[in-house]
Amino acid sequence: MEKEKEKDSPQIKQQIQKQSQNIQQSYITKEDQQQILREYKLIGNVLGLAIYNSVLLDLHFPQALYKKLLNIQPNLKDLEEVKPEVALSLKKLLEADDAQLFDLTFSITKKSFGQIINIDLCANGSEIVVTNQNREQFVSLYIDWYFNKAIQPAFEQFKIGFNDTVGDLLHHIVSPSELQLLVIGQSALDFEELESTTQYDGGFDKKDPTIRKFWDILNNRNLQKEHRQMVREWEKDLQEQEAEEQKIKEQQKNKLNQNDKEQLKKDDIEKQEQNNSDLQQTTQSSSQPTTVQSLLDKSSSSSSSSSSSQPTPPVKLKHKVSKHAPLPPKLFTEEDKRRFLHFVTSSSRAPIGGLKEIRMIIQRNGPDSDMLPTAHTCFNILLLPGYKSRMKIRQKLLTAINNAEGFGLR
């Protein structure tokens, strides 16, 4: 009994819990921790190099990270971006008539390695009750813990890696939102800006019919004109198909008529030979008389079997044109524009200053053909065959941008 009581004592329970926690934490060695910190530093290096070389990255860090890089303290609004439910609870705490109804102290709980641990936000925090007088201090301490103390080792290495590349030059000349734009670019896309600064090569110029149709498609201009052209092309293809069908039917009919004539001639010869043979048999064998009706039956059966008409084979065409007129072209959507931008530049966002800063080059890649457009993302070059029709430009362009995967960070 004494041993059981000793085992159930609070001191023993606390010691067992601490030993269990130490065993679970021992799964991550010091070498592993150092390696993790080195990786955080490497990510900071990559971010700094991207800014230094004006390369946009598809890394959507919260605004608080850019504030910390510029030594600006995050606030409750930043917490709302990453932890909306917690931020809403803190807002309710600040607006409540009586903060003590929340039954909070200056300590929080956190799950670590399967264990729930208590963390004091200040000295003896578990003994200090949150009231109307100190609730603002509680919110401030929680935000400081979440954005600073809880991630201090990792963020310090991240910031060291970032500053190794860009130094402290950005701290006094950019705001957090501007720093974010340097990394990920602008989300709004103005393709008319892109058109205004695009250059042309290989025989193209801005007045080329292919180029004018290309920009009309990307900027959703002259859609009615494009639809009328699609209908005209469809009517032309349909007429050509009907003429081809009629030509094939005439050829098949002539071939069947010629075969019928040859077959009738052959039947007449066989019929004459059969009659001669029957007459000879009639004269030679008087014991087996042959009636005229039997001769007629044989003749009719042979002629009907040999001269039966063959069924007309179906008409086969290389390309089948639909009997229904084409529908109006769909708009080139924002998602299509982002895919196109990623296809040409390997980034779906605009740099600071807008799309006019990209200075894309459209180079002619041969005459009208079934080739798809291609791109050199390192130089923002689009290789475009000299397509003649709007419909073909739209189809080939959408096929290319929706089935392409180039270089990028994963």
In the chain the domains, ranked by start, together with CATH numbers, are 26-103+140-184 (no CATH), 191-222+331-402 (3.30.2410.10)
Sequence-ordered list of residues with C-beta below 8 angstroms from that of 75, at least 6 positions apart, any chain:
143
Between the alpha carbon of residue 262 and those of residues 228, 256, 258, 265, the distances in Å are 51, 10, 6, 5
**φ, ψ for residue 199, nearest 5 deg:** -110, 160
- Residue type for position 171: H
Q: Which sign does the torsion angle of CA 162, 167, 171, 177 carry?
A: negative
- For the beta carbon of residue 199, count every other beta carbon within 10 angstroms: 14
Among residues 309, 308, 320, 277, the alpha carbon closest in space to that of 295 is found at 277
* Amino acid letter for position 268: D
* C-alpha separations of 66 from 8, 62, 89, 351, 409 in Å: 50, 7, 25, 17, 20
Q: Over its length of 410 residues, how does the chain's per-residue pLDDT go in tens digits?
A: 444 444 445 555 455 455 545 544 445 688 888 899 999 999 999 999 988 888 888 788 999 999 999 999 999 999 999 999 999 999 999 999 999 999 999 998 888 777 888 889 999 988 999 999 999 999 999 999 999 999 999 999 999 999 988 877 777 788 898 888 888 887 778 889 899 999 999 999 999 999 999 999 998 887 776 777 767 777 777 777 777 878 877 777 777 667 666 666 676 677 676 766 666 666 555 444 545 455 445 544 544 444 444 555 554 555 566 767 666 667 888 899 989 999 998 888 888 778 888 889 999 999 999 999 999 988 999 999 999 988 899 899 999 999 876 544 44
Helix (H, G, I), strand (E, B) or coil at 315: coil
pTM of the model: 0.57
Amino acid present at 65:
L
> Which of the residues 378, 388, 402, 406 is marked catalytic?
378
Residue closest to 220 by CA, chosen among 390, 351, 380: 390
What is the pLDDT at residue 250?
79
**Where are any strands of DSSP class E within 68-159?**
107-112, 115-120
How many CB atoms neighbour CB 50 within 10 A? Answer: 19
Tokens standing for residue 118: 């208590």
Q: How does strand 361-364 pair with strand 374-376?
A: unpaired
Residues in the chain: 410
Phi, psi (degrees; rounded to nearest 5) at 115: -115, 145
Query: Hey, what amino acid is at 286?
Result: S
Residues 6+ positions from 330 with CB-CB distance below 8 Å = none
For residues 179 and 69, give the distance between their C-alpha atoms in angstroms, rounded to a whole number.
9
Among 99, 172, 165, 92, which Cα is nearest to 132's? 99
Catalytic annotation on 122?
A: no
Distance of CA 109 to the CA centre of its chain: 41
If DSSP states are collapsed to H, E and C, what string results for 155-169?
Answer: HHHHHHHHHHHHCCH
Helices (H) and strands (E) in the chain, counts: 15, 6
Using the structure block, give the residue that is written with the tokens 């799950």: 111
Residue 121 CA to residue 408 CA, distance in Å, equals 42
Is residue 30 within 8 Å of residue 154, measured between CB atoms?
no
